[in-house]
Amino acid sequence: MRNQTPPITTTETGRALKLHHNGFAEIISTSGDTELPFCLPGEEIEFEKVQYPKRTNTYFKAVIKPSLERQDALCKHFTSCGGCVLQHAKEGFYKEFKTSQLTQAFNEFGLNPYLIQPIKVVPAAQRRRANLEATKKGDKLFMGFHRLQSHQIIDMEECPVLTQPLQDALPFLRTALDNLLEPFQKANIFILELNGLVDIGIEIQGINQISEEKKAMLKDVATQANWARLQFRHRKFYDLILQTQAITTQFGPLEVPMDPWAFLQASSIAESWINDIIKQTLDESGPQTHLLDLFSGRGTFSGSLLNYGRVDAFEGNNKAIDLLSSAAKEYPLHAKVRDLFETPLPTKALNCYSTVVIDPPRAGAEAQVQQLAKSIAPTVIYISCNTQTFARDAKTLEDGGYTLKSAHPIDQFLWASHLEVVGVFKK
């Protein structure tokens, strides 16, 4: 066995400068510069430096001299759980920082930052979906989110970001998992709340089915918790343990089935705000002929577009398109499976639409936007959860002849570093 050199651990102090886009502060100290979470500009910070033979890690420890912009965190797990990095910032500073993420991206890509509208922030207790992890270490269950920049699961007892029904579900979920998992087993848990109904999905690493005894236990817990549905999944196999009510959501006139594995905007308030922007844009644009929803999912925005005319929807997920097609049987909506990364809709096809709504994943839609930039579609509404890829794709649209009319920052990822953006483009 090789002898390993033990790390050298020291306690250091430094001063925090600006925050980077990930919410980490730039720290200057006599022993060298670093980046740390949970700090604010101007603060004097105590941190731990751990020196290994080939690397050095630094960890936030305490605030020696706090900023006037600092406030007490709402959650007792803050600085342990990696779900939030900005609970310590007062509202004014917080809004300015979130908006600055978009401003900096605009400046980097040569876009006009004066087009950015005032930010809208979703309040606490409004996140309706989340993915948790759980593991058994000996007889102790750990359930929650990861520690920041770590695979360690922080044992979560509360989460003020989640809707109240999901917060109420946590102790029951803990009981279920404590009785379900064997030592050293790991599970992924997908939680969803719609209109007060709680929907739970569980996956266990390396397990393709669970025993009848454990299913009976899970059913009892779900019944006590008044959950609407509880499922176990292994790849494409679904085992329905309990269902008392159908889980659906309304997208415009469409009632679409949902489950905790499906994509859905993180907050119903944010979804409503985005739909308001779409509605205002279409009302101001005049009569529509044919509308297009790219990366449609199960129809989050297709339903709203139906109020203005015929709609085509494209999405790479087969199940999403099947459910959307079924929900839209009586409506002028045509939904089709298409991988828009590998085979983007070509310019010639895009030319027949009066409005295009596009809502890609965090990576953006570089190939699709290149085709869109060359089209003659009069209106494009681009929805993004990544300021950098939004600005990159917005620049491509502008280079193709589109004019960015407005950009709307919507913070539905409360206290995290992410930001939703809705851009309205005209040609």
The answer, yes or no, to whether residue 123 has pLDDT greater than 70, is yes
pLDDT in tens, 110-120: 999 999 999 99
Work out the pLDDT band at 2, boundaries 50, 70, 90: low
**Which domains does the chain carry?**
1-69 (2.40.50.140), 95-123+264-426 (3.40.50.150), 129-248 (2.40.50.1070)
pLDDT in tens, 143-180: 999 999 899 999 999 999 999 999 999 999 999 999 99
pLDDT of the residue at 5: 80
The per-residue pLDDT for range 326-381, each reduced to its tens digit, is 999 999 999 999 999 999 999 999 999 999 999 999 999 999 999 999 999 999 99
The whole-model pTM stands at: 0.96
pLDDT digits (tens, 9 = 90+) for 171-220: 999 999 999 999 999 999 999 999 999 999 999 999 999 999 999 999 99
Q: Which burial class, exposed, middle or buried, applies to 330 when counting CB atoms under 10 A from its CB (0-12, 13-18, 19+)?
A: exposed
* Mean pLDDT, range 74-92, rounded to an integer: 97
The per-residue b/e assignment along 341-360, b for 16 or more CB within 10 angstroms, e otherwise, is beebbebeebeebbbbbbbb
Assess whether pLDDT exceeds 70 at residue 56: yes
Strands 140-144 and 129-137: antiparallel
Cβ-based neighbour number of residue 236 at 10 Å:
6
Section 279-303 average pLDDT: 97
The residues annotated with a catalytic role in the active site are 385
Q: Give all strands of the β-sheet with 333-337 in edge-to-edge order.
A: 120-121, 403-411, 420-426, 379-384, 355-358, 290-294, 310-315, 333-337
